[in-house]
Amino acid sequence: MNNLIIDIGNTSIKYAVFEDGRCVWHCSANKNSLTEFQEACSFDINYVALSSVSTTGDELHKALQDMPYPVLNISTKTKLPFKIADYIPDTLGADRIAAVAGAHQQYPHQDVLVIDLGTCITYELLTKEGIYACGNISPGLQMRLTSMHEHTTLLPEYTYDGEWPDILGTNTRNAMIGGVVWGIKGEMEGYIRTFKKDKPYMKVIITGGNSKSFAEKLDADVLQDSMLVEKGLNYILEYNYKQ
């Protein structure tokens, strides 16, 4: 069973091909490029799982409509291997559903906090009973840097290069990047600390963007998995077509 996984985010598209549950190919692409999609389709694909934060109508969505195999568009209406609490609205994003699915696959009988450092930072709580209970959305790293530039007169716009900054900067660039990065670190540790008061055995998985550099600096025991969302999408796909 060969599955094509497509995760259309706010800034890029991630592709992955899973063969019998194992990722054999993956890449990240510009949203305006179809080259990587065509490369992915060169595999002997059986099914496709799609997570998208974009509206339909772009070139990739049009290409997907012409595919000769089933395309599972992930939403709250999809048959899922975990339960979404009744009070959660149907607007829950497919990328957040996929991240929780990836956590459920790895820790099916444990409380798990999933932190996804994407364009926005999302916090998702999966209970040991297999229920998605709640979540929050916070501005992402680059969004915070851009916002400071756009809402002030003199602050420039900078891009974080992945190098961990000193806690206090000695110039404008270091002060802005340090303020954002150390602020996110404190925010994440605050969530982890708060949830662990009631759930001391809770697992924490961080994924997305700069998750690797944060995993190394957090004052908490975390698992870093850059492909959690893709694994979750494949898990949902197999849950729907293997039964």
Which are the catalytic amino acids?
Answer: 95
Task: Return the CA Rg of the chain.
Answer: 19
pLDDT tens digits for range 166-185: 999 999 999 999 999 999 99
- What is residue 32's predicted lDDT score, i.e. its pLDDT? 75
Work out the burial of residue 80: count CB atoms within 10 Å of its CB; fewer than 13 is exposed, 13-18 middle, 19 or more buried: buried
Domain range spanning residue 158?
75-243
What is the average per-residue pLDDT within 31-38? 86
Burial (CB < 10 A; 0-12, 13-18, 19+), residue 231, is buried
Query: Considering its fold, how many domains does the chain have in total?
Result: 2
Can you give the CATH number for the domain in which 16 is found? 3.30.420.40
| pLDDT for 66 | 81
Is there a single domain that holds both residue 112 and residue 88? yes
**pLDDT, tens digit (0-9, with 9 covering 90-100), for 63-73:** 888 888 899 99
Which pTM does this prediction carry?
A: 0.93
**pLDDT tens digits along 116-157:** 999 999 999 999 999 999 999 999 999 999 999 999 999 999
Q: Are residues 44 and 126 in the same domain?
A: no
- Residue 146 and residue 30 share a domain: no
* Average of per-residue pLDDT values in the chain: 93
pLDDT at 60: 85
> Could you tell me if 116 and 218 lie in one domain?
yes
Q: Alpha helix locations (H) across 41-140?
A: 59-65, 94-106
Q: Are residues 68 and 81 in the same domain?
A: no
